[in-house]
């Protein structure tokens, strides 16, 4: 019994030392310090295409952005494989964002909307804008299958 008690005490001391050592290694980060506070925008949309394996297939493009069924603007222009950005300031509430892909038609010399079959699906997502957070929505479009994935996160410092 005496050996068991001694082992238990040694085990408990080791566990406490480990917990104490872990707490000293880094500063305590409060939840409010991890995220960037909104200033000029509280929504950031990032869109790009995946699975483009040939430079001849990598066309110049942008996305038109609709928020709550109203045209809100468009992303920056870039190659399909590059990140394209859109930023907006929205009220705290639940919102619907819809995207529409446009590509450069080099023969016509202007941007044209992709036909509905080639548009990324789904082309929308519902999201909420909380207080003191910047919502980041990433649209990853699979170029081969016209399938999109929306990821929602908060911008960190």
pLDDT digits (tens, 9 = 90+) for 65-120: 999 999 999 999 999 999 999 999 999 999 999 999 999 999 999 999 999 888 98
Q: What is the pTM of this model?
A: 0.76
Q: What percent of the chain has pLDDT over 90?
A: 66
**19 against 118, higher pLDDT:** 118
Does residue 29 register a pLDDT over 50?
Answer: no
The one-character DSSP state at 35 is: B
CATH architecture of the domain with residue range 33-154: Sandwich (2.60)
Rg (CA), the chain: 24
pLDDT of residue 34: 86
CA 141, CA 81: separation in Å to the nearest integer? 9
Structural contact between residues 121 and 140, judged by C-beta atoms closer than 8 angstroms: no
Q: SS in 3 state form for 91-153?
A: CCCEEEEEEEEEEEECCCCEEEECCCCCCCECCEEEEECCCCCCEEEEEEEECCCCEEEEEEE
Lowest mean pLDDT among 29-33, 44-48, 78-82: 29-33
At 58, is the secondary structure helix, strand, or coil?
coil
Q: What percent of the chain has pLDDT over 70?
A: 79
């Amino acid at each position: 019994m005496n050996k068991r008690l001694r082992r238990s005490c040694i085990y408990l001391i080791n566990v406490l030392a480990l917990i104490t050592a872990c707490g000293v290694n880094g500063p305590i980060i409060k939840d409010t310090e991890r995220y960037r506070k909104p200033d000029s925008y509280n929504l950031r949309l990032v869109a790009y295409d995946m699975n483009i394996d040939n430079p001849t297939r990598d066309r110049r493009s942008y996305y038109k952005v609709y928020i709550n069924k109203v045209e809100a603007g468009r992303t920056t222009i870039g190659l399909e494989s590059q990140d394209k950005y859109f930023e907006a300031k929205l009220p705290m509430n639940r919102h619907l964002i819809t995207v529409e892909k446009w590509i450069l038609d080099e023969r016509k010399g202007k941007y044209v909307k992709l036909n509905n079959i080639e548009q990324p699906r789904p082309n929308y997502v519902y999201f909420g804008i909380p207080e003191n957070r910047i919502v980041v929505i990433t649209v990853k479009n699979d170029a081969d299958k016209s399938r999109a994935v929306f990821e929602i996160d908060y911008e960190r410092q």
